[in-house]
């Protein structure tokens, strides 16, 4: 019977102590091997909390690690080096087309969007609440520009 452990870890910086160590100990797996593998799989999300799911075969002590992705807002903030989003619709930063595309590609597997254009619009919606402009335009104008095909060359 497999045992499943789910936790939030610091990307690329999980430690054998809490929260993972105490959960892994009773399963009998090599904790160092699991931690090393978690860190290898989460290194792209350094500085962010990352959801991980560890499935352990308690008989063979083999394990599989699935890594989730941080929230879109956390990825956007990391991409532009922003400490926190804005309040009351004040714009606090600008993100380039290249940067928002990078974030969308990281999230594409779990986004509801059916294509890249729709995913960009979804991420732009997050920019609204964070106070970010995209390509120096308000997110709503960016969404319209994407719909009108003004960024097709970047998307394709």
What the chain holds in terms of domains, given with CATH numbers, is 2-67 (3.30.1550.10), 72-155 (1.10.10.250)
C-alpha to C-alpha distance for 52 and 114, rounded to whole angstroms: 25
Q: What is the CB-side half-sphere exposure of residue 147 using CA atoms within 13 A?
A: 9
- Its pTM stands at 0.68
Per-residue pLDDT of the chain (156 residues; tens, 9 = 90+): 789 999 999 889 999 998 899 999 999 999 999 999 999 999 888 888 889 999 999 899 999 999 988 888 888 988 888 876 665 556 788 999 999 999 998 887 777 788 889 999 999 999 998 889 999 999 999 999 999 999 898 887
C-alpha to C-alpha distance for 138 and 134, rounded to whole angstroms: 6
- Cα R_g (the chain), whole angstroms: 19
> How high is the pLDDT of residue 69?
82
99-138: per-residue pLDDT in tens?
999 999 888 777 778 888 999 999 999 999 888 999 999 9
């Amino acid at each position: 019977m497999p045992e499943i452990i789910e936790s939030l870890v610091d990307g690329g910086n999980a430690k054998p102590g809490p929260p993972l160590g105490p959960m892994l100990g009773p399963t009998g797996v090599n904790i160092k091997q699991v931690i090393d593998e978690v860190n290898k799989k989460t290194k792209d999300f350094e500085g962010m909390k990352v959801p991980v799911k560890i499935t352990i075969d308690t008989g063979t002590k083999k394990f599989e690690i699935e890594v989730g992705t941080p929230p879109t807002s956390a990825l956007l903030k990391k991409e532009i080096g922003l400490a926190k989003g804005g309040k009351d619709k004040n714009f606090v930063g600008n993100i380039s087309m290249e940067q928002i595309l990078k974030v969308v590609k990281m999230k594409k597997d779990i986004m509801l969007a059916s294509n890249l254009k729709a995913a960009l619009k979804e991420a732009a919606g997050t920019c609204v609440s964070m106070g970010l402009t995209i390509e120096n335009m308000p997110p709503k104008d960016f969404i319209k520009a994407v719909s009108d095909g003004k960024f097709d060359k970047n998307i394709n």
